[in-house]
Structure 1
C-alpha cells in the first residue's frame, strides 16, 4: 500500500491585510508603527519583520513592490544592522561550488523566468555596533492564519510540484504520490512510489496544477518512460527510499512549471516545508488544493528514539541517509496523502525558488498528536542523482 503524504497544517507566511492597514507610503519614507519610528523597507531586507512573522506577528504594510510587501521596519535596525545588502546577478555566483547539481541549479535560475528577483547577499560591517531591535508588537485586528488548521498554497508558489498517476489509462488514473521536477526530463520521488500493489507501476506525471479540480487545459501531463529506484532500495524497507522518474518527452518550463534545486550542503537548517495534495487529517479526504506545512528539524538522538529498530527499519533510524522533521507541540507532519513529495527550504539566490533537502518517506499515524516523519536525505544521494540526470 502506498504511503501517502498529507499536510494538516502550514505556517507558510502570507500577509493578509485590510485596506486600512496599508499605510500607502513608498519605500524609503519614514513611518510609525505601535509607537516606534521606522522606515518603509522591502520585507526581504527587514530582519525585525521576519522575526515578527515567525511569531505570527504581522508588521505594518507601507505599500507593495509588485507582490512583495514594503513594511515599516524599525529605525534601530536601519541604523545598526551589521549586514549590508550587495545585489549581484546570478552569473557572478556561478562558481560558488564544484557540485554539479548546484551549477545546474544556477543555470536554471539565471535562464528561466522565476517570479522574483535575486536575493541580496551581505557583507559584514564590523564598524556598526550590533543592537537588538526586535519590535514588541501588540496590535489587535490583524489576521493571522491558524497554523493548526492548515494552509492552502497559492498558484505559482510551488511550481516544481508533481502529482503521480497510476492505472491503465491517463484519463482514469489515480493520482497518489508526489514528486519534484528537478530537470527537463526527471522527477525526484520516493522509491516506494514507483509501484502500487493494486494499481501497478507509476505511469503518469501531472505538472502545473494547484488544485485537483483545475480544468483539464491547465494540467500538463507526461508519460513515465522509466522509473529508476536507488539500487539499494528493497521494499518494504524504508532505507534508500528515493527514485527518479524519466518522462517520455521534455518538460516544458513556463510560469506554472519550473524546476527545484537540489540542496548541496550537508546541514540544511532548522526549519523546512513539505507540500502535497494529501488528506486534510486522519481519516479525512484528500485535499483539492495543494497544502504546505512548516516543520522543525529533530536531532539524531530524538529521531533515533522516535524510530527504533523494527521490521521496516531493521537497523533503526539512519542519520546519514535519513532525517526527521515534525513539531513537538502541534500535530504537524506528513502522513497519509502523497509520499515522494519534497521537504524543502528557500533557495539562497532566488527566494521564490526552492532547494529540495528531503523526500517524504515514512511516518506514524498523523494528525492526532505531535510527531514527526522520516525523509530521505537528498544530500547523501547527490552523486547517484547526478550520474543519472546529468551524466
Structure 2
C-alpha cells in the first residue's frame, strides 16, 4: 500500500535510529507484515473507497490510478490536496466502490466536476493536506448505483465532529513497535476501543507496481509525543493540534495510497468467523493518508490529515 514520499525528508533523527537498532534484535519484528495489505474480508467492507485516475488523452483516453480518496456521499469525495494540485478537473475521474480496477464498470466511473482545496494547505510541510472533489451529476443509468451507495454510506460511514488532537493508543497486537505503555493514562482513551484501517490501490514496495485489487491493513493513532520520538521533529507534525497526526501498525501506506482514508470502528467484543456490512458498527473517517518516510520501515509511522480538525470547513463546503 502507498503514500506520498518527500525525498528531502528521508533522514531520521538519532533517537529513531536507536529504536530501529532495538527492533532489529527482536525476533517478532520480522514476523509481521508491515506494508503488504490484505484483501477486504467481504465485498462491502470499503464500499466508500475511491481510485482517482488520470485520463490519458494521448493514449486512447485510457485511465491510470494515481491516488486514493473516500466517498462520503452526495457526490463528494475527501482526498489529499497534494494529490490533485496541478490537475485540470477534466483530466481526473473517480472510480468509486472499492472493486477491482481491471474489471471496472462504467457506472462506477465519474468525472470530477469541482475541486475545493483547503486554504490552509502548505505545500512544503503538507499541513492542511485535505481537499474535496465533487463528481458530476450522474446520468439516469448511473443514478441508481449512486443512490444505493449514498444510502449505504449514510448508515455505515461517519465523519468525526472533533479532532483526534494527536491522542491515541498503542495495541501491542497490531503494531510493529515495542513500547511500555504503563502509566501513560491511556486506559480510558476511546480510540483504544476502536480498530483502525487504511486502504488503497498502492504498491507493496516503494518501487513496486500498484495493485488492481483494493488492499487494507491495521494501524493505530499515536500521540504527538510518540510521533516526534519515532519520526523526529522535522518530519512529525508541528504540534498536537496542527490538524495532522501519526499512526502505525501492521500495514503502512506507500506510493499510490495518498488521499485514501484512515477509518476506525468499534472493536468486536468477541471473535467472529464471518463478517458482513454491519450498520451497528459503522466506520468513522478519522484520517487522510498524507506522507511518510519510506514504506513500512520499522518504527516509522505515517502522517495523516485529521478529518475531525477540518469538520467545520467540510460542512461549509458540502452544504453550499
Alignment partner of 1:225 is 2:122:
no
Say which of 222, 238, 253 aligns to 2:147: 253
**Contact residue 325 and residue 373 of structure 1 kept, 8 A:** yes
Structure 1 375/320 Cα, relative in aligned 2: closer, same or farther at 3 Å? same
Cα drift, residue 194 of structure 1:
1.4
Structure 1 256/159 Cα, relative in aligned 2: closer, same or farther at 3 Å? farther
Cα drift, residue 176 of structure 1:
1.2
Task: After superposition, give the CA deviation of every residue in 1:54-81 in whole Å (9 maximum; x if it has no partner).
Answer: xxxxxxxxxxxxxxxxxxxxxxxxxxxx
Cα drift, residue 285 of structure 1:
1.5
Q: Look up the match of 2:176.
A: none
Q: Look up the match of 1:274.
A: 198
Uncovered stretches (5+) of structure 1, i.e. residues with no partner? 6-145
Cα drift, residue 155 of structure 1:
1.6
Say which of 354, 357, 364 aligns to 2:293: 364
Structure 1 151/292 Cα, relative in aligned 2: closer, same or farther at 3 Å? same
Cα drift, residue 150 of structure 1:
2.8
Q: TM-score, with normalisation over the residues of structure 2? A: 0.66
Say which of 195, 201, 207 aligns to 1:283: 207
CA distance in 2 between partners of 1:290 and 1:257 (Å): 22
Q: Look up the match of 2:247.
A: 325
Does the residue aligned with 2:68 lie in a helix, a strand or coil?
strand
Uncovered stretches (5+) of structure 2, i.e. residues with no partner? 6-31, 165-189, 268-277
Q: Look up the match of 1:204.
A: 93
CA distance in 1 between partners of 2:309 and 2:229 (Å): 22
CA distance in 2 between partners of 1:351 and 1:278 (Å): 30
CA distance in 2 between partners of 1:266 and 1:235 (Å): 22
**Contact residue 263 and residue 379 of structure 1 kept, 8 A:** yes
Aligned residues: 243
Does the residue aligned with 1:205 lie in a helix, a strand or coil?
strand
Structure 1 265/358 Cα, relative in aligned 2: closer, same or farther at 3 Å? same
**Contact residue 323 and residue 375 of structure 1 kept, 8 A:** yes
Between structure 1 and structure 2, the one with the greater Rg is 1
Q: After TM superposition, list the pairs within 5 Å mapping 1:273-352 onto structure 2.
A: 273-310=197-234, 316-327=238-249, 332-346=251-265, 350-351=279-280
Structure 1 3/298 Cα, relative in aligned 2: closer, same or farther at 3 Å? closer
Task: After superposition, give the CA deviation of every residue in 1:334-370 in whole Å (9 maximum; x if it has no partner).
Answer: 1222211111112799245321011111111013434
**Contact residue 183 and residue 389 of structure 1 kept, 8 A:** no
Cα drift, residue 253 of structure 1:
3.1
Task: After superposition, give the CA deviation of every residue in 1:273-320 in whole Å (9 maximum; x if it has no partner).
Answer: 11001102342211121111111221111112334454x87x735544
Q: Look up the match of 1:150.
A: 37
Q: TM-score, with normalisation over the residues of structure 1? A: 0.55
Structure 1 208/255 Cα, relative in aligned 2: closer, same or farther at 3 Å? same
Task: After superposition, give the CA deviation of every residue in 1:204-232 in whole Å (9 maximum; x if it has no partner).
Answer: 11112421122435x51111111101011
**Contact residue 231 and residue 301 of structure 2 kept, 8 A:** no
Structure 1 370/305 Cα, relative in aligned 2: closer, same or farther at 3 Å? closer
CA distance in 2 between partners of 1:186 and 1:242 (Å): 13
